[in-house]
Amino acid sequence: MGSSLLTNSSAMTALQTLRNVSTQLATTQNRISTGQRVSTASDNAAYWSIATSMRADNAALSAVSDSLGLSAATVDTEYTALTAVVGDSTGGLTKLQALLVEAKTAGIDRTKIQADITQIQQQMKGTANAATFNGVNWLSATATTPATFNLVSSFSRVGGTPTIGSITLTIANYSLYTATQTGILDKVNGAASIDTISISALTDSTADMTTLDGYIAQVTTAINSVASAAADLGAVKNRISTNTEFVKTLMDSVDRGVGQLVDADMNAESTRLQALQTQQQLGVQALSIANQNSQSILSLFR
């Protein structure tokens, strides 16, 4: 094939090869700098779309994790207060029951026992009032306290439909005091509520002993009710704890899945970068040689 001044086929071939190498080199450098094989929709529309959706879901799961933390703190506050109200030999309903049994003793000074009872009543009400977290108090309910309370527990999406899972609690099951006096401790049963029991005026008469028996039975029922409420919240605590660990594990799993779709293999990209840089240098050299062929034609006219 003869040489032509108008068309340098060798230079055109070398230039096209160099242009392709430069394009691949730019792609490889972008993958190395971003750490991603698919960083934009143009890289791989399907994988980019999936990764974008999963990242959005992970952000929602992160919000669920935060909500679970808030829920756990709220439930723990109420649970701790209920446990304190049940009490032991030094306070709470357990001590109140013991004092009432002691008051059955003939000739005992019930006025002094009442002094202890009054302190326990005030202490239990104070405990209920203090069981507030982030403005939420289930034990001392007011007129504005909702009938139910939803604790966010999970997030999932099937197709394009997001689903928020929640744990629904009925506040009446945990209320010790209410605005309408229907709580476990302020609901009147017989002559008085747990909150208003008074034995100062009771004597050793049969009728008063019967009244004491009624108070003891009332306190026993309250112990069972409060213990049942505490046990229920304890189960909710365990469920929230399990959900929290699951959500964190799920977030890690989603991160790994997204990484498998879009992350670049840095070992492979590093090797590819070195190969492309070598090809680029060789392409520049080939283009230089092709251009020199045109220069050699000049010597024929000297």
Q: Which tens digit of pLDDT belongs to each residue from 146-182?
A: 999 998 888 777 777 788 888 999 999 999 999 999 9
- C-alpha to C-alpha distance for 283 and 13, rounded to whole angstroms: 10
Structure confidence at residue 298 as a pLDDT band (50, 70, 90):
low
Q: Is the pLDDT of residue 52 over 70?
A: yes
pLDDT at 4 over 70: no
Q: Give the DSSP H or E segment for 186.
A: none
pLDDT at residue 94 in the model? 96
Strand partners, 168: 150
* Domains and their CATH numbers in the chain: 45-262 (1.20.1330.10)
Rounded to an integer, what is the distance from CA 296 to the centroid of its chain?
A: 75
- The CB density around residue 280, as the number of other CB atoms within 10 Å, is 16
The H or E element spanning position 227 is helix 206-262
Q: Which residues pair with 189 in a beta bridge?
A: 192
Q: 173-223 pLDDT, tens per residue?
A: 999 999 999 999 999 988 899 999 999 999 999 999 999 999 999 999 999
Q: Please say whether the beta carbons of 113 and 99 come within 8 A.
A: yes
Rounded CA gap, 9 and 3, in Å? 9
Instruction: Round to whole Å and give the CA distance between 126 and 187.
Output: 17
Residue 2, pLDDT > 60, answer no
Give Cβ neighbours of residue 141 (< 8 Å, ≥ 6 apart). Answer: 171, 175, 177, 178, 179, 183
What is the pLDDT, as a whole number, of residue 264?
Answer: 87
110: CB partners within 8 A, 6+ apart: 103, 199, 200, 202
pLDDT in tens, 254-297: 999 999 888 888 888 888 888 988 888 888 888 787 777 666 76
- Decide: 78 and 89 in contact? Cβ < 8 Å: no
pLDDT in tens, 105-131: 999 999 999 999 999 999 999 999 999
- At residue 145, the 3 state secondary structure works out as coil
Confidence band for 5, pLDDT divided at 50, 70 and 90: low
pLDDT of amino acid 7: 65
pLDDT at 34 over 70: yes
How far apart are the C-alpha atoms of 115 and 98, rounded to whole Å? 14
pLDDT beyond 90 at 18: no
The two three-digit tokens of residue 189, written as one number:
């049963």
* Two structure tokens written together for 210: 């019967």
- Which H or E run contains 152? strand 148-158
Range with lowest mean pLDDT among 8-12, 137-141, 240-244, 247-251 = 8-12
Instruction: Write out pLDDT tens, residues 79-104.
Output: 999 999 999 999 999 999 999 999 99
Q: What pLDDT, on the 0 to 100 scale, is given for residue 3?
A: 58
Global confidence as pTM: 0.77
Quote the pLDDT of residue 133.
94
> For residue 115, what is the DSSP state?
H
Q: Compute the radius of gyration of the chain from its Cα atoms.
A: 39
What is the token pair recorded at 16? Answer: 């096209």
Mean pLDDT of 236-257: 91
Distance of CA 27 to the CA centre of its chain: 39
